[in-house]
Amino acid sequence: MNPPLIVLIVEDDPHVLLGCQQALGLEDIAAEGVASAELALERVNAGFPGIVVSDIRLPGMDGLQLLDQLKARDPGLPVVLITGHGDIALAVSAMRKGAYDFMEKPFSPERLVEVVRRALEQRALALEVFSLRRQLAGRSALEQRLVGGSRPMQALREMIANVADTSANVLITGETGTGKELVARCLHDFSRRQPRPFVALNCGALPEPLFESEMLGHEANAFGGLGPRRIGKIEHAHGGTLFLDEVESMPDSLQIKMLRVLQERTVERLGSNEAVDVDIRVIAATKANLAQASHEQHLRSDFFYRLNVVTLEVPPLRERREDIPELFEYFLRQAALRFDREAPGLDSATRARLMTHDWPGNVRELRNVAERFSLGLPAFKDGSSQATNLTFAEAVEAFERNLLQEALERNGGNLSQASQALGMAKTTLFDKVKKYRLTDGPPQAGSTSVK
């Protein structure tokens, strides 16, 4: 959902500015005011959730120059210009440059409200279309970044697409090696914050004495010896995303300091009494049960609830075994490109081992296995390929899935030929193809294919 729309009024006459704000406020239209074009440019970026109403005659940069700058940043932004008596020629020029409309002074409150309402309606529609297009493009791109067609991965991608372009704090949970930082980067990359910094911090690796200097920054020679002025990581993330990895390892004293940042969205550099506003989206990741940690007082409950607005759970690899062949092939192609080697073919023994291994290191372990395999080394080290926690039914399913996959590959995805080779009824094979989500091999002309 897009944020509420706002009207930014650019007017150096305080009486006119106040009158415009009051007229719009009486109609429940949110409005802010600035006294110069330069201040307006600090406020408006691409995707600005609203419209701009500006006087043409301003100190410094005038309204026409402001129009040019705004249109360069966001061609679809409606800009309404206010002209003085006798400035019709300027108004015509403005319309040619892309102004939405113009009003000649003096204008009535009714005229202002009418023009603003129409511009806001157009802006709302444009932003809605933009949001839908972003979601559609994001879902397609997400499938390339977060590989896997299993139901848990489909649900995870759907959640990311829904919350990426919001400012809500997100807590990502999952075992070591499941890809929590990749999920955090996807949340950043598929949001409007993408052009701004993604600042990652490992909470377990930052010594407590350095926290304030590293996170909050300091003024030049603060407390005699800290050197030149330094912008902390929180302030550096302004406009972007602050990622707190292994947040469960953050000491209690640092939780208190971070809680203040989360609550007030301000920082004070060491050696300064001035609070600096920061616009950050906070994403935290943990392999621990933070609710339990909070209950056991290892984690402050107020800190936990500030982080835990939206929770995304990244599933372990053993709970989405049907994704393993696709993920392995993906990592194998990447490794072959990086090592400048041709990707080797996957034999049936290795495929079976991939499906029966317990994967305690999750996706990170699978990637390492693929890299070893691409170098011609044994994919699995001695003894590591044996499943330790698979039930008999799970082992049978893994074997059956690989057997069917190989038959489909040998027969180009042709169900009729594969069923004959397996000595299995075609309808039975079709049901198992659906069950295991098997698709492989080019379809044969005039034949029934799994594609």
- What are the tens digits of pLDDT across the range 180-226? 999 999 999 989 899 899 999 988 777 777 777 788 887 776 665 55
Q: What's residue 200's pLDDT? A: 94
Q: What's residue 386's pLDDT? A: 44
In which band, very low, low, confident or very high, does the pLDDT at 395 lie, cut at 50, 70 and 90? low
Let me know: does 9 contact 25? Beta carbons within 8 Å. no
**Residue of 21, 7, 14, 51 lying closest to 35 (CA atoms):** 14
Q: How far apart, in whole angstroms, are the C-alpha atoms of residue 297 and residue 36? A: 51
In which band, very low, low, confident or very high, does the pLDDT at 439 lie, cut at 50, 70 and 90? low
In which band, very low, low, confident or very high, does the pLDDT at 115 lie, cut at 50, 70 and 90? very high
Share of the chain above pLDDT 90, in %: 34
Question: Is the model's pLDDT at 359 over the cut of 50?
Answer: yes
Q: Which helix (H) or strand (E) holds 244?
A: strand 241-245
**Residue of 197, 138, 141 lying closest to 164 (CA atoms):** 138
**351 against 110, higher pLDDT:** 110
Let me know: does 64 contact 21? Beta carbons within 8 Å. no
Output the six-digit token pair for 308: 């835990």
Question: Is the model's pLDDT at 391 over the cut of 70?
Answer: no
Q: What's residue 394's pLDDT? A: 67
Q: What's residue 129's pLDDT? A: 75
Let me know: does 369 contact 325? Beta carbons within 8 Å. no
Q: What's residue 85's pLDDT? A: 64
Q: What's residue 52's pLDDT? A: 96
Residues with Cβ within 8 Å of residue 79, at least 6 apart in sequence: 51, 52, 53, 54, 66, 67, 70, 71, 98, 99, 100
User: Residue holding tokens 């150096």?
Assistant: 12
Q: What is the DSSP string of 173-232?
A: E--TTS-HHHHHHHHHHTSTTTTS-EEEEETTTS-GGGHIIIIIEE-TTTTTTS-S-EE-
Q: Which of 32-46, 103-117, 403-417, 431-445 has the lowest mean pLDDT?
A: 431-445
User: Residue holding tokens 């969205």?
Assistant: 265
In which band, very low, low, confident or very high, does the pLDDT at 237 lie, cut at 50, 70 and 90? very high
Phi-psi region at 383: left, alpha or beta (left = phi > 0; alpha = psi -120 to 50): left
| Mean pLDDT, residues 64-85 taken together | 89
Paired strand residues for 83: 104
Question: What does DSSP assign to residue 5?
Answer: P
Instruction: Give the total residue count for the chain.
Output: 451
Question: Is the model's pLDDT at 50 over the cut of 70?
Answer: yes
Q: What's residue 448's pLDDT? A: 44
**CA-to-CA dists, residue 210 to 175, 199, 206, angstroms:** 28, 17, 7
Q: Which domains are assigned to the chain?
A: 6-129 (3.40.50.2300), 146-315 (3.40.50.300), 318-389 (1.10.8.60), 391-451 (1.10.10.60)
Three-class secondary structure of residue 407 per DSSP: helix
Q: How far apart, in whole angstroms, are the C-alpha atoms of residue 298 and residue 250? A: 10
Let me know: does 212 contact 256? Beta carbons within 8 Å. no
Q: How far apart, in whole angstroms, are the C-alpha atoms of residue 335 and residue 436? A: 27
Q: What's residue 447's pLDDT? A: 39
Three-class secondary structure of residue 412 per DSSP: coil
**Residue of 219, 311, 234, 305 lying closest to 270 (CA atoms):** 219
**274 against 445, higher pLDDT:** 274
